[in-house]
Structure 1
Amino acid sequence: MDNNIKISRKELYDKVWATPMTQLAKEFNLSDNGLRKICIKYVIPLPPVGYWQKLQYGKKVVKPDLPEVEEENEINIHVDSLKENIYSENSIRRIVTAEIRSNSALILKVNDRLSNSDDIVIKTQSNLEKKKLSESYERVKGTISTDRGLPSIVVSPKNVSRSLRILNNLIKNFKVLGYKIFLNDEGLNIVAYDDDKMLIYIREKSKVLLTPNRWGGNDRDLIANGKLAVKVGRFGTFEFVDTDKNLIEDQIEKILIKVETEFREMDERRKLWKAEHERQEKCRKIEEAKQELKDNELKKFIGFFNDAHRWKKFTVLKEYFEHVKNINPDDLEWIQWAEKKLDWYNPAKNEFDDLLDHVDKDTLEDTSKKKWKW
């Protein structure tokens, strides 16, 4: 069934800045990309990348005003309620899922034994083998952790082997997917597309242990509970945890799908932001060109206006010149001087006079004094 939703620019603008695009699009049964195109068409500014995250954490955000347009036409949004849009919010995930499952080069099952280890895994293993619980000061008791500059792993000794095998599997799969992989002080970074980055962490989950103390209360300690979690960091953190039915080793496909989907969505948002930025830049240049035309037109008219008034004053001077010339026809020196000044002042001639080149003809003010006035 087809529908037409009618909405004003102001109403759509208010909605766009009140609700994330992916959620708002559902209200119109559109893709978020489709709704963005409508906003761009009707010159409605869009929240930039990271806007909602900043808002969530109470950071300062900037909301631009709705630009004025020549015609405030009502927006008609055509909706086919029976048609599933292939660009819906889940379309990227569906595409990625199909690609991951059909990629025979990916290893979707973690090996029971650590073999053919990546260099990063070898370094990590060597680091963890040197750690002792008695020397560990982790927030979660019973765990050890890697040093800075290595993949961030915080687990109990019994889960070190599992963590290394999971890490080895993920690194190999990330390389198959074409990600760049590097280490820094934050840990293991994976990079895709236009330098979009995520961090990979491995943690052991914890439980709270309350121990009575001598003051009649309880000491609260975090104790490792044996369950592993893989965290993927970006603006927030996506977590995959051991469950009673599925260990992390059985969730590799799920992790890869989530990571690749996030990377592609980041890439899509960046492209849309770039397109919006280019559109705004184009609009800005058009507005600048319009304003320049207006400024030039006004400047031209002011010149015309001033010339008309100067012409009127010139005619008075001309009449006076003729009068003096008739009275003193023999004063040739003055007559020649006056004729040159008339040619200089005449807006139709504007002859150059090196002795008066610093004078504004409209006001007869000395412009050199204005220039050097402090």
Structure 2
Amino acid sequence: MNVITLTRLELYEKIWSTPMTVLAKEFNLSDNGLRKICKKHNIPTPVMGHWQKIQYGKKTAVIKLPNKNLEEQIKINISQTKPSSEQDPKIDLVSESIKNNKNLVFKVSDRLSRPDIIVLDTQNYIKGIKADAYSRIKGTIETGRGMPSIIVTPKNIARSLRILDNLIKNFRVLNYKIVVKQDGLTIIANEDDEMKISIREICNSVMVDTDFKWKTRELIPNGKLAVKAGRFGTYEFVDSKKSLIENQIAKILIKIESDFLAMHEMRIRRRLEETKRKELEKIELEKQLTKEDELNKFRQFYNDAHRWKNYSILKEYYDFINTQPDKSSQTEQWLEWALQKLDWYNPLTNSKEEFLDDVDKDTLQFKKKTWF
């Protein structure tokens, strides 16, 4: 039985980092079911259109979490939620591949033997930490930044390290890249698809008396371990009466491998969609350029026609002056000048004129100059 246990803050962060439809599927819930849980625990949800705005790079408001410091535990029992209508056949293939991989070890050792360097560093780090009664979760030991995330009571330290060692060694067999970042242990597969892995002890939320004569809520560890995994740490494998974490290693690996496969397929789909989008944009751009080219040709045709009409009027006037019997020397000079300008203005000849090169023949205005 898989039980997801989250604080209000954790669920709030997931709600605002993952679309509701995607997160609901990870919890095996309907969208409405997840919204009801959020409403019950006073967790605000994104308004309609929030993720579309983010997709197109637009700004959108994020509603702050009321009573952020309220340490309320939220449990989601996967077995009691609405089951998926159909299981992806790829999951069956992943399950078969994992179970038939003879290099994988599904049994957690009773003692830590030849631990992975990451586990050895974590073990040495934990040796210098003592349980603190004033920590966020009383009586627990918590690893710091730059270490695999572990929050357990002292009696569960050895067990947590053995589980972590088994998982890391299996991750290496599956060719995952393993990195310890500031926020904990990260496994990377395919093309930089990432998942966070952490171990914590399940806590019960209880009301206790204080020295100030009022009650406060505290988180009390109950001894059960949980392995949290996922891109956003969205699901957990928890100790139960029927099955301890040590007996769920195969199930954990199948889930992680299936999710990595889903991420990879999503990446491929997005690439195909992006390629298709660019092809459509290219087609539209070429179509638009063709339209603009056609329009420019017609404009030139239109302008040439009007220039020809104006040219015909000018030529008619020129011929009239030229046919006058008593032309002065000044008139002869003008006729020579006018003939050059007619050749310059004629749309069929378009001869050049030194002093009129920067004039638009259609508007008879000087072209705008740029200094760049």
Q: TM-score normalised to the size of structure 2? A: 0.75
Which residue of 190, 195, 198 corresponds with 1:193?
A: 190
Confirm or deny: 8 A CA contact 1:188 1:199 kept in the other structure: yes
TM-fit CA distance, 1:136: 5.9
* Mapping 1:192-341, distance limit 5 Å: 192-213=189-210, 216-327=213-324, 328=326, 331=329, 332-341=332-341
Please give the alpha-carbon distance, in whole angstroms, between the structure 1 residues aligned to 2:194 and 2:133: 30
* Mapping 1:131-170, distance limit 5 Å: 131-133=129-131, 135=132, 137-170=134-167
Confirm or deny: 8 A CA contact 1:228 1:248 kept in the other structure: yes
Letter in 1 for 2:52: V
Partner of 2:115: 117
Confirm or deny: 8 A CA contact 1:150 1:183 kept in the other structure: yes
Partner of 1:31: none
Q: What secondary structure is seen at the aligned counterpart in 2 of 1:293?
A: helix
Change (3 A) 1:271 1:166: same
Please give the alpha-carbon distance, in whole angstroms, between the structure 2 residues aligned to 1:170 and 1:153: 14
Confirm or deny: 8 A CA contact 1:151 1:187 kept in the other structure: yes
Confirm or deny: 8 A CA contact 2:179 2:185 kept in the other structure: yes
Letter in 2 for 1:109: K
1:320-344 per-residue CA deviation (whole Å, 9 max, x = no partner) reads 1111111155644322222111110
TM-fit CA distance, 1:18: 11
Letter in 1 for 2:261: R
Change (3 A) 1:161 1:268: same
Change (3 A) 1:105 1:18: closer
Unaligned segments of structure 1, at least 5 residues: 1-16, 24-54, 66-87
Query: Could you say which structure has the greater relative contact order, defined with CA pairs below 8 angstroms and 6 or more residues apart?
Result: 2
Change (3 A) 1:110 1:18: closer
Please give the alpha-carbon distance, in whole angstroms, between the structure 2 residues aligned to 1:312 and 1:333: 25
Change (3 A) 1:235 1:56: farther
TM-fit CA distance, 1:354: 1.0
* Mapping 1:43-82, distance limit 5 Å: 57=46, 60-62=50-52
Please give the alpha-carbon distance, in whole angstroms, between the structure 1 residues aligned to 2:340 and 2:233: 80
Change (3 A) 1:337 1:113: same
Partner of 1:356: 356
Please give the alpha-carbon distance, in whole angstroms, between the structure 2 residues aligned to 1:333 and 1:154: 103
Change (3 A) 1:56 1:212: closer
Partner of 2:93: 95
Please give the alpha-carbon distance, in whole angstroms, between the structure 2 residues aligned to 1:137 and 1:298: 77
Q: What secondary structure is seen at the aligned counterpart in 2 of 1:355?
A: helix
Q: TM-score normalised to the size of structure 1? A: 0.75
Confirm or deny: 8 A CA contact 2:203 2:222 kept in the other structure: yes
RMSD: 2.5
Partner of 2:104: 106
1:78-101 per-residue CA deviation (whole Å, 9 max, x = no partner) reads xxxxxxxxxx76122111101001
Letter in 2 for 1:107: V
Please give the alpha-carbon distance, in whole angstroms, between the structure 1 residues aligned to 2:230 and 2:182: 14
| Structure 1 moving runs of 4+ over 6 Å | 17-20
Partner of 1:39: none
Confirm or deny: 8 A CA contact 1:136 1:144 kept in the other structure: no
- % same residue: 47
Please give the alpha-carbon distance, in whole angstroms, between the structure 2 residues aligned to 1:57 and 1:316: 71
Please give the alpha-carbon distance, in whole angstroms, between the structure 2 residues aligned to 1:278 and 1:214: 65
Change (3 A) 1:234 1:288: same
Letter in 1 for 2:197: I
Change (3 A) 1:136 1:214: closer
Please give the alpha-carbon distance, in whole angstroms, between the structure 2 residues aligned to 1:207 and 1:275: 47
Please give the alpha-carbon distance, in whole angstroms, between the structure 1 residues aligned to 2:193 and 2:205: 36
Change (3 A) 1:56 1:288: farther
Please give the alpha-carbon distance, in whole angstroms, between the structure 2 residues aligned to 1:174 and 1:155: 23
Letter in 2 for 1:138: S
Letter in 2 for 1:278: T
Letter in 2 for 1:61: W
Q: How many residues align?
A: 300
Confirm or deny: 8 A CA contact 2:230 2:256 kept in the other structure: no
Confirm or deny: 8 A CA contact 2:130 2:141 kept in the other structure: yes
